[in-house]
Structure 1
């Protein structure tokens, strides 16, 4: 079963840009995004996102998380302080550890490096949970089954 997965830690804000977040933290992001409304009604607020990501193939989720946190731990106090400030200006938690997994992703070009039973199991240790607690980050896990569907909406047999 081909598996495509990646992990990122992000800080989000409606008002503070990713560049401003980088200046406060002293850490350049791996990725940034800006989302704005595509329609006038109802208006959707702008969302700036600063990200540190791991998209390395062949690693379990916990190994990807470890790579990210190895980079962020020395800055945990500044991340926590900025996350609290961003929380005050927004509606919810501004910090997130995001895990995204696509199962049966036959369209992914490097699928051979992401298959095998060793990539499916993972865990988060106390050190990761402590980092999430210190920074006020939430954990968000998205998993998608990309199995093509047969006529009638039933998954195809493999």
Structure 2
């Protein structure tokens, strides 16, 4: 009977060691989050450029600086025009941000899934200062007595 209890005690102790080892190994794995939790941060990065377009490589570098190298892959970025007849041209492009956690065999990356966001910037097509376009030489000298224009 003592031998049977000793054998059961050893088996229980071994099982506890195995369970603890598995728990520790699983604790080392990072939790993977859907990339949509970063939507507002990614939109803020896109909106940080209001007067120029993003090149994909430049945006990729910015995203890696913010979230870590290899975490997210950026693609897309073909701009289209949206003329609004106010002397400005709005340019729009869609960028896709893809979390790379699902392709990581080591399970060290944090983000999975993908999200597509739009970047818009405004390109000035008419100069702000019309004095550079119409000069006194073109109009002649105007005085307060001139009633015709």
Report TM bin, short chain.
under 0.3
TM-score of the pair, normalised by structure 2: 0.22
Q: Which has the higher helix share?
A: 2
Which one has more relative contact order, counting CA pairs under 8 Å at least 6 apart?
1
TM-score of the pair, normalised by structure 1: 0.22
